[in-house]
A = this chain, B = another copy of it.
Amino acid sequence: MKIKLADLAIRYGCTLKGDPDATVDSVSSLRDSSPGAICFLANAGYQHYLKDSKATAIILEEKYAGDAPGNCLITHNPHAVYALIAQELHPAPLAQPGIHASVVVGNDCEIANSCEISAGVILGNRVNVSEGVFLGPNCVIGDGVSIGPYTRLYSNVSCYSDVSIGERCIIHSSAVLGSDGFGIAQDESGWVKVPQIGGVRIGDDVEIGAGTTIDRGAIEDTCLGNDVKIDNQVQIAHNVTIGDHTAIAGQSGIAGSSKIGSRCLLGGQTAIVGHLTIADDVVLMGRSTISHSIKTPGVYSSILPAEEAASWRRILARIKQLDSLAKRIIKLEKQSGPQD
């Protein structure tokens, strides 16, 4: 498929600098581009690759257009425009209607004719699979699960019973939806399991990464809003709720019953303690530890960057002395007289 730059400029509201009749048929990186390709510049750190680009067109902000050697699509949001053009050139795969002979289907399931159900998939009872759904090989779908239109599950996804997934979602391999929350009560003899009888409700346009686990609710449901984006190996505990458009990077963990607002951004390996409330529009830097509720939008961090080990050892020794150091400062202040 070849697309004219003029068409792209109109479709995505860009200013075109260069040849409107030039065509692109693929995407490339800025650094490793070739004729026929379109690429983008969004991270200033890659600006030095601009002048040598061989791409037919580059999507970029106005301020970089002067440095570009050839055609440009100028926009204030090159990353989003690139994403939309890449979606045109590399459209997401469509379900190829059909149910493989090896698929096991329980009782009282409703499966739209337009679904593709791959080899080795096992469906429980009362499963509802809407039009255009793709279920990858060896997925296991529990009783009473409902999967909205055009949602895709890649291979080896496990869906426990009573999970509901919205429209146009993407669930990656080895993700687990609806496993029991970590609900245990202590008595004299040890642990008593607390039955986890809630479900999981996932909105529309949600993406869930490989190996991510989302526990079912203890009583009420664990809920993800619309357009929530979750990376790989994230742990969402029971009764968590996540607001619309929130994005969570890899290996983060959210403990039970915490409520994350809308449009939040969580960096990788973020940890959120249980029973907290995080406001809308909060940004948590990667690896931050959130042990109190956050009521105010803003950026939060407790990142501790690595140092050369000998230097870190000295700092660490001083960290352990901090209380004593502080007391010595107080004593010095007393000796030196009034501190105004």
Contacts and interface: CB of A to CB of B under 8 A. Distances in A.
Given A29-B220, A104-B100, A140-B136, A172 B182 contact: no
A199 B281 CA distance: 33
Interface in A316-340: 316-323, 325-326, 328-329, 331-333, 335-337, 339
Nearest to A106: B119
B193 A87 contact: yes
A276 to B, nearest CB: 10
B176 A250 contact: no
Contact of A329 (B119, B138, B179, B329): B329
Nearest to A184: B229
Given A245-B191, A253-B251, A255-B250, A138 B154 contact: no
A80 B192 CA distance: 6
Given A160-B173, A185-B77, A289 B318 contact: no
Contact of A300 (B232, B285, B306): B306
Interface in A112-171: 118-120, 122, 136-138, 140, 142, 154-156, 158, 160, 170
Given A92-B195, A104-B120, A303-B291, A205 B232 contact: no
B86 A197 contact: yes
Contact of A80 (B158, B187, B288): B187
A63 interface: no
B195 A83 contact: yes
Interface residues of A, number: 129
Given A122-B119, A303-B289, A194 B309 contact: no
Interface stretch (A16-24, A65-73, A211-219): A211-219
B137 A122 contact: yes
Contact of A140 (B138, B215, B331): B138
Contacts of A247: 184, 191
Nearest to A314: B323
A230 to B, nearest CB: 9
25 contacts: A77-B187, A86-B197, A120-B122, A120-B140, A122-B137, A138-B156, A176-B232, A179-B210, A182-B209, A182-B229, A182-B232, A182-B250, A190-B244, A210-B215, A231-B235, A250-B253, A255-B268, A285-B309, A291-B303, A292-B305, A304-B319, A315-B322, A315-B323, A329-B332, A335-B337
5 tightest Cβ-Cβ pairs between the two chains A and B:
A158-B173, A140-B155, A179-B210, A318-B322, A299-B309
